[in-house]
């Protein structure tokens, strides 16, 4: 496979997979493009390579910066801003876990905490099922929360080493 064909495939697929992961297509495509670009790109470069409008490029680049997956770079002698993506995939994964934990898991646990204190007689079948389900999910979520915290703080070699030992 030729490099150019492979690049297009990678960008298209990363974009498609992104949509399964709560990230929009263009945002994932910009991320993919930056991941495989040896040098920083400008907004114009991105617009041109992905065939998207200036507004679209701008919004999604900002969103990527917000997720801390992309950095602004100032090149000496250039007026424009340029952008790069972190290429160490372990760091990328940890950053995504960190953000999604903050945006999704933490608020969910907060809500479950409130819901588990529903009023009423625990003998009532309706109340019992509700409380049991909610506290079950809450406990599971708290375990996941702890495990992910470790993952986010861990460095790759420690983590892989431990996994190796665990899973033979």
Which residues are near DNA by CB under 7 A? Answer: 19, 24-26, 42-44, 51-56, 58-62, 79-81
Query: Which entry of DNA, a copy of itself, none binds 52, CB below 5 to 8 A by partner kind?
Result: DNA
Phi, psi of 83 (to 5 degrees): -135, 145
Question: Least distance (Å) from a copy of itself to the CB of residue 166?
Answer: 7
SS (H, E, C) 87-129: CCHHHHHHHHHHHHHHHHHHHHHHHHHHHCCCCCCCCCHHHHH
d(CA 91, CA 18): 17
Query: Which entry of DNA, a copy of itself, none binds 58, CB below 5 to 8 A by partner kind?
Result: DNA
First to last CA, the chain: 35
Q: Which residues bind a copy of itself (CB under 8 A)?
A: 1-3, 6-7, 9-10, 13, 17, 19-22, 35-38, 87-90, 93, 100, 103-104, 108, 111, 114-115, 117-120, 125-130, 132-134, 136-137, 140, 143, 146-147, 150, 160, 162-163, 166-167
């Amino acid at each position: 496979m030729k490099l150019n064909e492979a690049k297009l495939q990678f960008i298209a697929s990363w974009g498609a997979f992104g949509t399964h992961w709560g990230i929009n297509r263009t945002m994932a495509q910009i991320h993919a493009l930056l991941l495989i670009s040896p040098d920083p790109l400008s907004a114009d470069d991105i617009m041109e390579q992905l065939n998207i409008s200036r507004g679209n490029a701008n919004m999604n680049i900002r969103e990527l910066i917000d997720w801390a997956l992309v950095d602004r770079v100032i090149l000496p002698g250039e007026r424009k801003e340029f952008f790069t993506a972190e290429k160490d995939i372990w760091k990328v994964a940890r950053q995504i876990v960190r953000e999604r934990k903050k945006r999704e898991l933490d608020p969910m646990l907060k809500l479950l905490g409130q819901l588990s204190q529903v009023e009423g007689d625990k003998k009532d079948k309706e109340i019992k099922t509700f409380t049991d389900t909610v506290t079950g999910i809450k406990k599971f979520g708290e375990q996941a929360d702890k495990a992910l915290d470790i993952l986010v703080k861990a460095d790759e070699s420690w983590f892989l080493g431990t996994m190796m030992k665990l899973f033979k």
